[in-house]
Amino acid sequence: VEQSPPQSPGPGKAGDAPNRRSGHVRGARVLSPPGRRARLSSPGPSSSSEAREELRRRLRGLIERSRVMIFSKSYCPHSTRVKELFSSLGVECNVLELDQVDDGAKVQEVLSEITNQKTVPNVFVNKVHVGGCDQTFQAYQSGLLQKLLQEDSAYDYDLIIVGGGSGGLSCAKEAAILGKKVMVLDFVVPSPQGTSWGLGGTCVNVGCIPKKLMHQAALLGQALCDSRKFGWEYNQQVKHNWETMTKAIQNHISSLNWGYRLSLREKAVAYVNSYGEFVEHHKIKATNKKGQETYYTAAQFVIATGERPRYLGIQGDKEYCITSDDLFSLPYCPGKTLVVGASYVALECAGFLAGFGLDVTVMVRSILLRGFDQEMAEKVGSYMEQHGVKFLRKFIPVMIQQLEKGSPGKLKVLAKSTEGTETIEGVYNTVLLAIGRDSCTRKMGLEKIGVKINEKSGKIPVNDVEQTSVPYVYAVGDVSEGKPELTPVAIQSGKLLARRLFGASLEKIYHTLFWPLEWTVAGRENNTCYAKIICNKLDHDRVIGFHILGPNAGEVTQGFVAAMKCGLTKQLLDDTIGIHPTCGEVFTTLEITKSSGLDITQKGCG
């Protein structure tokens, strides 16, 4: 899958006029507007949350349009050091001195929401948040800064996401909706038993979805028993057929896999079924099933590789035991089963297997459902016991031996007490390990670009905005440290991350104040009449809102309404010749977007 090196649309190249009011300067010198202070947040009757959203958009705009954007305070020595650093590198910076604008405090607040950094200087290089003074100098020393400065929009992608699970996919789709060029790398390394699956990650393939369906199958067994009491009549012994169920569930999963592929395609997200491994800054190697390697670069990365089940590290475990990775597509009924572990995965699996009428034993090292309310956990345990699940408490397996091959075969499990020297033996058809999960972070070259992981857990520490120790690399989902391992959490954080990275605004608003000709002579006030259109960025800047405050507003509006019905776009408006001198003509010359924050007051004859 050779990707032609594409030109990133680069939002900075749209030819926006320099922002004169925000203290924007070239070459690290600050020019405050003489006489009065600039405001970044728009004045006017908008509510505070709207104003904040507006300010956020504007900051995002500044960051996106500037090669180097420094939020600074004029008296801050750290800010000065950073400015001098860029100056010595001969790099032009856009500097906003927060102490010299009216709403500096608000800007600082919003910045801290975006970056989780409350202090100045707050430095962005080519849209990547580098951090404060120390981080900037560290990046300079490690060469990262130069790298960031060099690669001005020359990456293949705006965003590459490693891992096509719930979190990764939601992030990818959201970023694509926001107009970014996005790639998803997803590759399922087969389990030790050889099980592998399609796009969608744990939840869809080997987690929530098949688990809940098997749970439902078990509940139906109960419902069948109930139904006799409710007057339904059948006499035969009802038996459960594992193969029928598994086939139906796997069919459903295949349709979901397909659905994900389709939705990525619809949103123009590139999907590559290859294993991703970082090779250098901003560059990742993708290796496919056949061992072919392709290299891709991106401005930003999201790691969403999730976790896989842990093995015990005892004799026979990888050879003979299965995990939740294998259970849901097991081609034969597992028969008499030992479930090792007391996690919710362990208890859920034990529960539905028992519901099918299988002989199920759960081996528990210490407590049930660690982290949950223990009174409730024990009640879950006793309910399961009443419904036929056996529990072996305070034992751990030490060896698994195969007695017989087959589908299923026969395994001998040797276990020892956690409290004494007692050992026990048992014979099972299937041993299911559910003792925890390990994150997939060790073999993806994170050390090559300096992304720190927790050596013990393998998880990636991230800050409140999901950023890793490397500014342009983020992590979401089960792989990030200290976050709940739940699908909806991953989905939500992936989506929010994309919105923070690329701004959520799908609408472009153009506006202006104007002074009707008739009012000039009459000496009526200037800058009260206002025109505004709202365009949908995703739909060729189609005009979706039209507002005018001024004389004859109804007469002016009517014609434009008809035009909107016909699919009016900003381009069409720009191509229209104005009728001079009227009020309506302002709509043919709208230039200033609301998010630019530029001045719209009229000073002379337009």
Partner 1 sequence: MAAMAVALRGLGGRFRWRTQAVAGGVRGAARGAAAGQRDYDLLVIGGGSGGLACAKEAAQLGRKVAVVDYVEPSPQGTRWGLGGTCVNVGCIPKKLMHQAALLGGLIQDAPHYGWEVAQPVPHDWRKMAEAVQNHVKSLNWGHRVQLQDRKVKYFNIKASFVDEHTVCGVAKGGKEILLSADHIIIATGGRPRYPTHIEGALEYGITSDDIFWLKESPGKTLVVGASYVALECAGFLTGIGLDTTVMIRSIPLRGFDQQMSSMVIEHMASHGTQFLRGCAPSRVRRLPDGHLQVTWEDCTTGKEDTGTFDTVLWAIGRVPDTRSLNLEKAGVDTSPDTQKILVDSREGTSVPHIYAIGDVVEGRPELTPTAIMAGRLLVQRLFGGSSDLMDYDNVPTTVFTPLEYGCVGLSEEEAVARHGQEHVEVYHAHYKPLEFTVAGRDASQCYVKMVCLREPPQLVLGLHFLGPNAGEVTQGFALGIKCGASYAQVMRTVGIHPTCSEEVVKLRISKRSGLDPTVTGCG
User: Under the rule (CB under 8 A), what is the footprint of partner 1?
Assistant: 47, 49-50, 166, 169-170, 200, 203-204, 208-209, 212-213, 216-217, 220-221, 223-224, 226-227, 229-234, 236, 238-246, 248-249, 252, 255-256, 259-260, 263, 356, 486-489, 491-492, 495
Q: How far is the CB of 376 from partner 1 (least distance, A)?
A: 16
Cβ contact 369:281 at 8 Å? no
Q: How far is the CB of 215 from partner 1 (least distance, A)?
A: 9
Q: How far apart are CA 214 and CA 40, in angstroms?
A: 56
129 labelled catalytic:
no
Q: How far is the CB of 408 from partner 1 (least distance, A)?
A: 16
Strands of the 395-404 sheet, one edge to the other: 395-404, 410-417, 423-428
Which of 129, 215, 252, 580 is the catalytic position? Answer: 580
555: number of Cβ within 10 Å: 11
User: Which one, 75 or 230, has the nearer CB to partner 1?
Assistant: 230
Q: How far apart are CA 394 and CA 98, in angstroms?
A: 61
Q: How far is the CB of 167 from partner 1 (least distance, A)?
A: 9
User: Which one, 302 or 364, has the nearer CB to partner 1?
Assistant: 302
Q: How far is the CB of 495 from partner 1 (least distance, A)?
A: 8
Residue/partner pairs of 232-239 with CB below 8 Å, 24 or more apart = 239/357
Strands of the 430-433 sheet, one edge to the other: 322-323, 430-433, 337-340, 360-364, 390-393
User: Which one, 7 or 227, has the nearer CB to partner 1?
Assistant: 227
Q: How far is the CB of 182 from partner 1 (least distance, A)?
A: 16
- Locate 493 and state its tokens: 């954080």
| DSSP string of 364-396, one letter each residue | ESS-SSTTS-HHHHHHHHHHHHHTT-EEEETEE
Q: How far is the CB of 494 from partner 1 (least distance, A)?
A: 8
Q: How far is the CB of 532 from partner 1 (least distance, A)?
A: 17
User: Which one, 484 or 551, has the nearer CB to partner 1?
Assistant: 484
For residue 296, give the 3-state DSSP assignment: strand
Q: How far apart are CA 162 and CA 178, in angstroms?
A: 19
Question: Which of 511, 510, 515, 509 lies closest to 602 in space, CA to CA?
Answer: 515
User: Which one, 253 or 339, has the nearer CB to partner 1?
Assistant: 253
Cβ contact 424:395 at 8 Å? yes
Beta-strand relationship, 390-393 and 293-303: unpaired
603: number of Cβ within 10 Å: 9
User: Which one, 127 or 211, has the nearer CB to partner 1?
Assistant: 211
Bridge partners, 474 (sequence order) = 302, 467
Q: How far is the CB of 522 from partner 1 (least distance, A)?
A: 34
User: Which one, 244 or 571, has the nearer CB to partner 1?
Assistant: 244
Q: How far is the CB of 587 from partner 1 (least distance, A)?
A: 23
For residue 73, give the 3-state DSSP assignment: coil
Length of the chain: 606
User: Which one, 96 or 475, has the nearer CB to partner 1?
Assistant: 475
For residue 24, give the 3-state DSSP assignment: coil
Q: How far apart are CA 161 and CA 260, in angstroms?
A: 15
Cβ contact 54:106 at 8 Å? no
Q: How far apart are CA 400 and CA 85, in angstroms?
A: 62
The four Cα atoms 351, 356, 357, 363 give a dihedral, to 10 degrees, of: -30
Place of tokens 């500096």: 104
User: Which one, 153 or 273, has the nearer CB to partner 1?
Assistant: 273
User: Which one, 241 or 292, has the nearer CB to partner 1?
Assistant: 241
For residue 55, give the 3-state DSSP assignment: helix
Cβ contact 272:183 at 8 Å? yes
CA angle 361, 318, 389 (to 5 degrees): 10
344-355 and 208-229 helices, crossing angle to 10°: 40
Instruction: Give the residue numbers annotated as catalytic, written as ranges.
Output: 580
